[in-house]
């Protein structure tokens, strides 16, 4: 099983660093079969990083998104992205399908809620709490990089939110 | 200094339309149009709503950290800031000049950046508008729509950008947050294996870039009346050129031409930029308005970037790009081309030049040498000017005896184009919006004009759930009449 993990964010912009900080933890573990890619934002060439992968995870900070994090499966979608400078994960998956002519691997999003994205700021207090919760979820995912298992985790989260 | 349509006389009684933020541009921007009761445009402004504060952020930091730190200004062109900072700090370590190896590695990195940024802009920022039309369905007018309708164009765009990113990764050490350039030189040269890896695809990139020039040219010539007139305004043009007048995006002296194409200032030394560029502050924008000091803010503003550079140089020092430049110049029929949509054609000519430069440098044995660093008597101040993808980028630092940065001044490419972009917005607003019903397609005309300049309006923050496109329509009393949003 080859897993590709994308972490998105600008480390100098407060809670936008959530993605890169979570990635730093993964880099320290250097797990076999896990490809790690960190960038300021998702772009079209990231579609090529999906080549040969059987599972994908996109980690990003969110604003106005569920706290402490949202973990969900996602799928290719043409959508109507507001900014081509920053594609959503769904558009990256769609670009892969268009240029490779095959469906992308199963893909999940770990969106960690941020509160303050100011230049030069550290993580906000709320984001630190969200980070800890997301890191625990990430560790659980990495113990079993398997789409079926991740779907169960996402489904369990969804039930908690709806009940 | 106030320009026509910059400030209405009776602002309080006018209807306000906001496009906030402008979609498909880096960072956050906002356009406000004030309309009177009859729907006539009385004021048009491009606002930059986010203050960077980066110059203060840099002060007090050790100078050697700066080339890495400034990359956080922008997620699209971090390499330009990386190299401009390293160039500015070379004199601080006495590296004047740097070694041949260091300069060639930096050039390789820089032209990789030009190639990947221009590919991204043309294929993925602008081609949806250009291939489908400004008023095509918004659901189609995006990169995903391009991939569906023109899969080979989309694929080449992806692979061109990927190649540029690989050049950056190999020269800078990483695809993002690279550390290749340091004050005094570079900290790595290429291995033969790395060179060979890039050589495998280099010729293909030249061919695809040439195809892209021809696509941009065909779009321009096929729609000549639209492309030549859309958002048209005339201004000075400003850029670096090499000592012999050739295009050089890494180094040289500064040159200014007037709107008729006459060289009015030449051989301006980069170190003296403060003597001939000033910046005007306007109360309604956080972004300053640069102008040539002795011409004043009314006459001395200018445009930068591909459209300026392709016409400001005397020639392009690579065979295929020079052929394309001559075809571009011929289209102007003896006059400079000022049409904003010609930026796309010029940008593709530069992309071809970048591909050719990369190919040429890969054959140069100096890129494999270990002579990476130079040193000499220490200095305390430096100016680094580079032609970034979007235009002239100026970094200026002073360093104290404690090696900490005591002064930092940055004039970024988009700031140079501030007045030019405002003029383009006003021309389009006057031509396409005045007195007409507002539709998403019509509003997109404004964004098309802005996008032509490839602006970078703030440092990169792109959290999920952020940056929706919101359009608000208010009546003369400020009451919300209509609202629409997309994306996010």
* Residue percentage of chain B with pLDDT more than 70: 80
Structure tokens at B354: 């970048």
B54-416: CATH topology: Cytochrome-c3 Hydrogenase; chain B (1.10.645)
Over 90: is that where the pLDDT of B341 sits?
yes
Instruction: State how far the Cα of B480 lies from the Cα of B237, in Å rounded to an integer.
Output: 41
Instruction: Please state the rounded mean pLDDT for residues A76-103.
Output: 75
Q: How many CA atoms lie within 13 A of B415 on its CB side?
A: 25
Instruction: State how far the Cα of B397 lies from the Cα of B411, in Å rounded to an integer.
Output: 12
Please state the domain extents for chain B: 11-50+424-486, 54-416
How do residues B54-84 score in pLDDT, each as one tens digit?
A: 788 889 999 999 999 888 776 667 899 999 9
If you measure CA to CA, which chain B residue comes closest to A76? B144
A120 to chain B, any CB pair closer than 8 A? The answer is: yes
Contacts of B120 in chain A (CB under 8 A): 43-44, 84-85
Residue from A66, A69, A72, A84 whose CB has the most chain B CBs within 10 Å, to mutate:
A84
CB contact under 8 A, A44 and B138: no
Return the pLDDT at B146. Answer: 60
Given a contact cutoff of 8 angstroms between Cβ atoms, the answer to whether B394 and B415 are in contact is: no
CB contact under 8 A, B143 and A48: no
CB contact under 8 A, B462 and A85: yes
Contacts of B440 in chain A (CB under 8 A): none
Work out how many CB contacts closer than 8 A connect A with B.
153
Return the pLDDT at B461. Answer: 45
Contacts of B155 in chain A (CB under 8 A): 99
Interface pTM, i.e. ipTM: 0.71
CB contact under 8 A, A119 and B57: yes
A80 to chain B, any CB pair closer than 8 A? The answer is: yes
Over 50: is that where the pLDDT of B483 sits?
no
Structure tokens at B346: 């010029």
Return the pLDDT at B472. Answer: 47
CB contact under 8 A, A86 and B459: no
Strand A69-74 relative to strand B185-186: parallel, antiparallel, unpaired? unpaired
Helix or strand holding residue B129 (H, E): helix B127-132
Torsions phi, psi of B354, nearest 5? -60, -45
Q: Name the residue among B57, B75, B128 with its Cβ closest to that of A41.
A: B75
Contacts of A78 in chain B (CB under 8 A): 139, 142, 144-145, 148
Return the pLDDT at B21. Answer: 44
Return the pLDDT at B361. Answer: 98
Instruction: Please state the rounded mean pLDDT for residues B360-381.
Output: 97
CB contact under 8 A, B24 and A38: no
Q: Model pTM? A: 0.85
Strands lying side by side in the sheet with B405-411: B381-388, B391-399, B405-411
CB contact under 8 A, B459 and A60: no
Structure tokens at B324: 């394309």
Instruction: Please state the rounded mean pLDDT for residues A63-75.
Output: 93
Over 80: is that where the pLDDT of B144 sits?
no
CB contact under 8 A, B143 and A44: yes
Neighbours of B158 (CB within 10 A): 26
Given a contact cutoff of 8 angstroms between Cβ atoms, the answer to whether B420 and B453 are in contact is: yes
A5 to chain B, any CB pair closer than 8 A? The answer is: no
Return the pLDDT at B52. Answer: 60
Instruction: State how far the Cα of B449 lies from the Cα of B129, in Å rounded to an integer.
Output: 11
* Window A:12-71, CB contacts with B under 8 Å: 12-13, 15-16, 38-45, 47-48, 60-65
Q: Name the residue among B52, B147, B461 with its Cβ closest to that of A99.
A: B147
A109 to chain B, any CB pair closer than 8 A? The answer is: yes
Return the pLDDT at B75. Answer: 65
Instruction: State how far the Cα of A82 lies from the Cα of B271, in Å rounded to an integer.
Output: 40
Q: What is the mean pLDDT of chain B?
A: 84
List of residues 6+ apart from B25 with CB closer than 8 A: A83, A85, B125, B447, B450, B451, B455, B456, B457
Contacts of B125 in chain A (CB under 8 A): 84-85
Instruction: State how far the Cα of B316 lies from the Cα of B336, in Å rounded to an integer.
Output: 16
- Taking the CA of residue B268 and the nearest CA in chain A, the distance in Å comes to 34
- Taking the CA of residue A146 and the nearest CA in chain B, the distance in Å comes to 24
Over 50: is that where the pLDDT of B123 sits?
yes
Least confident of B67-76, B155-164, B195-204, B324-333: B67-76
Return the pLDDT at B19. Answer: 53
b/e B25-48 (16+ beta carbons within 10 angstroms → b): bbbbbbbbbbbbeeeebbbbbbbb
Q: What is the mean pLDDT of chain A?
A: 88
How do residues B273-289 score in pLDDT, each as one tens digit?
A: 999 999 998 887 778 89
Over 80: is that where the pLDDT of B479 sits?
no
CB contact under 8 A, A119 and B165: no
* Omega before B481 within 30 of 0, i.e. cis: no
* In the block, residue with structure tokens 């356009």: B31
If you measure CA to CA, which chain B residue comes closest to A84? B24
Instruction: Please state the rounded mean pLDDT for residues B185-207.
Output: 97
Band of pLDDT at residue B131, cut at 50, 70 and 90: confident
How do residues B395-439 score in pLDDT, each as one tens digit?
A: 999 999 999 999 999 888 888 999 998 899 889 888 877 665 667
If you measure CA to CA, which chain B residue comes closest to A19? B463
Contacts of B136 in chain A (CB under 8 A): none
Return the pLDDT at B351. Answer: 98
Contacts of A61 in chain B (CB under 8 A): 463-464
Q: Name the residue among A8, A12, A80 with its Cβ closest to that of B462.
A: A8
- Taking the CA of residue B441 and the nearest CA in chain A, the distance in Å comes to 14
How do residues A123-163 score in pLDDT, each as one tens digit?
A: 999 999 999 999 999 999 999 999 999 999 999 887 765 54
Contacts of B487 in chain A (CB under 8 A): 80-83
How do residues B156-183 score in pLDDT, each as one tens digit?
A: 888 999 999 999 999 998 777 778 999 9
If you measure CA to CA, which chain B residue comes closest to A91? B144
Domain A3-162 has CATH 3.30.70.2740: no
Given a contact cutoff of 8 angstroms between Cβ atoms, the answer to whether B374 and B99 are in contact is: yes
Return the pLDDT at A39. Answer: 86
* In the block, residue with structure tokens 């970048």: B354
Closest of B254, B260, B329 to residue B292, by C-alpha: B254
3-state class of B9 per DSSP? coil
- Taking the CA of residue A53 and the nearest CA in chain B, the distance in Å comes to 18
CB contact under 8 A, B465 and A83: no
* Window A:122-161, CB contacts with B under 8 Å: none
């Amino acid at each position: 099983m080859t897993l590709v993990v994308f972490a998105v964010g600008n480390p100098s912009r407060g809670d936008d660093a959530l993605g890169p900080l979570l990635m730093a933890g993964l880099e320290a573990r250097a797990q076999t079969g896990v490809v790690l890619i960190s960038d300021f934002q998702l772009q079209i060439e990231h579609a090529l990083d999906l080549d040969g992968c059987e599972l994908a995870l996109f980690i990003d900070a969110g604003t106005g998104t569920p706290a402490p994090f949202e973990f969900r499966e996602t799928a290719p979608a043409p959508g109507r992205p507001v900014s081509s400078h920053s594609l959503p994960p769904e558009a990256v998956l769609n670009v892969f399908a268009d240029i490779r002519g095959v469906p992308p691997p199963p893909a999940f999003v770990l969106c960690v809620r941020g509160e303050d994205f100011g230049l030069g700021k550290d993580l906000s207090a709320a984001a630190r709490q969200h980070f800890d919760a997301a890191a625990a979820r990430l560790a659980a995912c990495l113990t079993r990089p398997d789409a079926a298992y991740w779907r169960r985790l996402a489904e369990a989260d969804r039930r908690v939110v709806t009940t | 200094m106030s320009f026509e349509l910059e400030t209405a006389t009776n602002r309080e009684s006018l209807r306000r339309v906001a496009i906030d933020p402008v979609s498909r541009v880096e960072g956050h921007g906002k356009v406000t149009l004030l309309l009177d009761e009859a729907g006539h445009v009385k004021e048009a402004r491009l606002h930059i709503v986010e203050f960077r504060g980066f110059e203060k952020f840099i002060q007090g930091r050790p100078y050697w950290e700066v080339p890495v730190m400034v990359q956080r200004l922008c997620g699209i062109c971090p390499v330009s800031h990386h190299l401009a900072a390293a160039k500015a700090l070379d004199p601080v370590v006495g590296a004047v000049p740097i070694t041949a190896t260091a300069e060639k590695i930096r050039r390789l990195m820089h032209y990789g950046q030009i190639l990947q940024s221009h590919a991204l802009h043309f294929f993925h920022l602008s081609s949806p508008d250009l291939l489908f039309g400004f008023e095509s369905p918004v659901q189609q007018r995006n990169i995903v729509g391009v991939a569906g309708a023109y899969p080979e164009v989309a694929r080449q765009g992806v692979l061109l950008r990927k190649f540029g990113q690989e050049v950056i990764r190999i020269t800078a050490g990483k695809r993002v947050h690279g550390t290749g350039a340091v004050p005094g030189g570079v900290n790595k040269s290429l291995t033969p294996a790395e060179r060979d890896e890039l050589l495998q695809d280099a010729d293909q990139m030249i061919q695809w870039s040439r195809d892209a020039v021809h696509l941009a040219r065909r779009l321009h010539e096929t729609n000549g009346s639209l492309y030549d007139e859309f958002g048209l305004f005339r201004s000075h043009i400003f850029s670096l050129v090499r000592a012999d007048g050739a295009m050089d995006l890494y180094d040289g002296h500064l040159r200014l031409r007037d709107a008729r194409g006459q060289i009015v200032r030449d051989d301006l030394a980069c170190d003296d930029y403060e003597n001939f560029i000033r910046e005007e502050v306007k109360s309604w924008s956080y972004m300053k308005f640069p102008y040539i000091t002795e011409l004043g803010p009314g006459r001395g503003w200018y445009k930068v970037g591909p459209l300026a550079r392709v016409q400001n140089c005397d020639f392009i020092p690579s065979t295929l790009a020079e052929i394309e430049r001559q075809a571009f110049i011929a289209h102007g029929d003896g006059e400079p081309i000022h049409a904003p949509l010609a930026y796309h054609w010029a940008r593709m000519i530069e992309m071809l030049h970048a591909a050719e430069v990369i190919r040429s440098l890969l054959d140069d044995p100096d890129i494999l040498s270990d002579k990476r660093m130079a040193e000499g008597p220490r200095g305390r101040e430096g100016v680094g000017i580079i032609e970034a993808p979007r235009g002239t980028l100026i970094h200026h630092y002073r360093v104290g005896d404690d090696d900490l940065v005591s002064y930092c001044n940055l004039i970024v490419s988009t700031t140079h184009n501030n007045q030019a972009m405002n003029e383009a917005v006003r021309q389009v607003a006057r031509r396409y919006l005045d007195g007409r019903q507002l539709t998403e397609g019509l509003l997109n005309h404004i964004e098309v004009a802005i996008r032509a300049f490839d602006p970078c309006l703030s440092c990169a923050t792109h959290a999920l759930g952020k940056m929706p496109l919101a359009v608000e329509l208010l009546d003369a009393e400020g009451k919300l009449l209509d609202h629409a949003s997309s994306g996010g």
